[in-house]
Amino acid sequence: MAKGAAGLPKWERTARVFLCVFGLILSVYALHVELSREHDPDYRAMCDLAESVSCSKVFTSRWGRGFGLVQFFVAQDSPLNQPNSVLGIVFYTLQFGLGLSLSKNAARFLVAASWVSMAGSVYLASILAFVLGDFCMVCVSTYVVNFGLLCTNLKRRSAIEAMKEKAG
């Protein structure tokens, strides 16, 4: 297996960059759709294909902000009740930035954050399917990206821990 300069498999960096950039693009697009819909209720997003295949319907639902949970603790218009897409932007930026570090702690944090993102993905997927009865291509794509990052981060953590054991 080809190794990069840091001793990690070359595919890991390529996969991380692709997944983080794709996740950022999806999150920025989701934020664009939500903000456009808030300013113009007649706005029709490219991902709105039918009544039951509508990303803007999902993004503007109560579950589109703070996972539908934050509003129980703060006011609905509180700065703490951010769109899920903003949380995605922060998540993918952290995944990219911390992915530059070879520290064991960074690798552990990346894995922990990925598990949290997977829990959020499963939660939101169940809301999508069983509560909203909708199919959101952007949402499902982010779930796939999150799963890809989890797999990448698990492999990375193992590789870093093995490197540190050999060195120390």
| 25 assigned to some structural domain | yes
| 2 assigned to some structural domain | no
| 87 assigned to some structural domain | yes
Give the amino acid at 68: G
What pLDDT, in 10s, does the model give residues 77-111?
Answer: 888 999 999 999 999 999 999 999 889 999 999 99
Give the domain range for residue 99.
10-167
| 18 assigned to some structural domain | yes
Given pLDDT bands bounded at 50, 70 and 90, which one contains residue 1?
A: low
Strand-pair partners of 50: 53
The SS3 of residue 2 is: coil
Check if the beta carbon of residue 155 is closer than 8 Å to that of residue 12: yes
Q: Which of 87, 89, 109, 90 is nearest to 98 (CA)?
A: 109
How far apart are the C-alpha atoms of 89 and 75, rounded to whole Å? 22
Residue 7 pLDDT > 80, yes or no? no
Tokens of 63: 């579950």
Given pLDDT bands bounded at 50, 70 and 90, which one contains residue 162?
A: confident
Neighbours of 19 (CB within 10 A): 24
| 97 assigned to some structural domain | yes
- Is the torsion defined by CA of 144, 158, 95, 84 positive or negative? positive
Given pLDDT bands bounded at 50, 70 and 90, which one contains residue 5?
A: very low
| 132 assigned to some structural domain | yes
The SS3 of residue 111 is: helix
DSSP, residue by residue, 14-30: HHHHHHHHHHHHHHHHH
| 1 assigned to some structural domain | no
CATH number for position 61: 1.20.1440.130
Give the amino acid at 79: P
Q: What is the pLDDT of residue 9?
A: 79
Residue 28 pLDDT > 80, yes or no? yes
Number of domains in the chain: 1
| 116 assigned to some structural domain | yes
Rounded to two decimals, what is the model's pTM? 0.90
Given pLDDT bands bounded at 50, 70 and 90, which one contains residue 69?
A: very high
